[in-house]
Amino acid sequence: MVEAAHRDHAVGGALRTRLRITEIFHSVQGETTRVGLPTVFIRLTGCPLRCVYCDTAYAFEGGSHRTVGEILDAAASYATRYVTVTGGEPLAQKGCLALLKELCDHGYEVSLETGGALDIAPVDPRVARILDIKTPGSGEVARNRYENLRLLTARDEVKFVIVDRADYEWARAQIAERRLGDRCEVLFSPVCGALPPATLAEWILADRLPVRFQLQLHKVLWGDVPGR
C-alpha cells in the first residue's frame, strides 16, 4: 500500500509539471517516416540554437504555461494515436522528459523533434527521436552533440536540412564516416526557398545515397502558416 501511494504521488507530481507551450494543434505529419499521419503537435517554447533558415522563430519566446495534465487533456481532444513533441527545442525544458513519459504511458505513439545539441539519453526509450544534425549552412554546426549518434536505434531517425551543394557533400561524408544508415533511417530535406527540391533529389539519385528524400508536406498543403 505504501509503495502504491508513492507511485500515485509520483504520477500526480508528473501531471502537475509545468511547461511553457507555444501551441498545441492537430495536423498531418509533414516530415519523417510518419508523413501524412494525423498527428497532435505539442510545440514547446524556447531554443538555444539560431539556425539561419529556422521557420519557427515565433517559438523562441512567449507561450503560456500548462501542466502535463492539461497538455494530455488537449491531446486527447483530437482522438489520434500519434503525437509529436517539437519546438523550438523541447529538451531545453526539463519538464519535457516527464511529458514524453506520460504521453507514452497514455498509449500514444510519440516522436520527439530535437536539434541534437542536447543530451537525448534521458528520453523515454519508447519515444522515436528525430535528431536534426546541423549542417554548416545552418550556422550551428559547432553545436552538434555527436555523442547522441551512439544512442540512436532503429526506431529513431536522423535528419539533414540541406542549404546548398556544400551542405550536401558534408552530409554525405557524415553518413559514410559515421555509418548512420546502419543505425536508423536517414532523411534529407531541402531548405524551402534556398535549394530547389528537384536538385537535391537529383544529387541523391546520382550518388545512390541510402537516404529518404522528404519535402515538408504541411508547407505544400498550407504554406508557412503557424499551427498547420
Residue 89 has pLDDT above 90, yes or no: yes
Residue 11 lies in a domain: no
Residue 228 lies in a domain: no
pLDDT tens-digit map of 115-137? 999 999 999 999 999 999 999 99
Q: What cell was used for 131?
A: 535528431
Nearest in space to 135 (alpha carbons), one of 173, 165, 172, 167? 167
Residue 39: its H or E element: strand 38-44
Number of compact structural domains in the chain: 1
Residue 113: its H or E element: strand 109-114
Query: Quick one: average pLDDT of 49-70?
Result: 96
Residue 37 has pLDDT above 90, yes or no: yes
Query: Quick one: average pLDDT of 173-197?
Result: 96
Query: What's the chain's average pLDDT?
Result: 93
pLDDT, position 7: 44
Nearest in space to 228 (alpha carbons), one of 28, 21, 22? 28
CB 119 within 8 A of CB 145: yes
Locus of grid cell 539561419: 52
pLDDT, position 46: 97
Residue 150 lies in a domain: yes
Residue 211 lies in a domain: yes
According to DSSP, residue 191 is labeled P
C-alpha angle 156/157/163, rounded to 5°?
160
**Burial class of residue 133, CB neighbours in 10 A (0-12, 13-18, 19+):** buried
Q: pLDDT confidence of 226, banded at 50, 70, 90?
A: low
Give SS3 for 172: helix
pLDDT, position 137: 97
Which structural domain, as residue segments, surrounds residue 66? 16-222
Radius of gyration for the chain, computed over Cα atoms and rounded to the nearest angstrom = 18
Q: What cell was used for 207?
A: 550518388
Residue 169 lies in a domain: yes
Other Cβ atoms closer than 10 A to 113: 22
Residue 5 has pLDDT above 50, yes or no: no
Q: Which residue has the higher pLDDT, 217 or 64?
A: 64
CATH assignment at residue 133:
3.20.20.70
pLDDT, position 8: 46
Residue 163 lies in a domain: yes
CB 88 within 8 A of CB 20: no
pLDDT, position 217: 82
C-alpha angle 72/78/84, rounded to 5°?
65
**Burial class of residue 182, CB neighbours in 10 A (0-12, 13-18, 19+):** exposed
CB 127 within 8 A of CB 104: yes
174: Cβ contacts below 8 Å, ≥ 6 apart: 133, 160, 180
| Distance between CA atoms of residues 99 and 68, nearest Å | 6
Residue 132 lies in a domain: yes
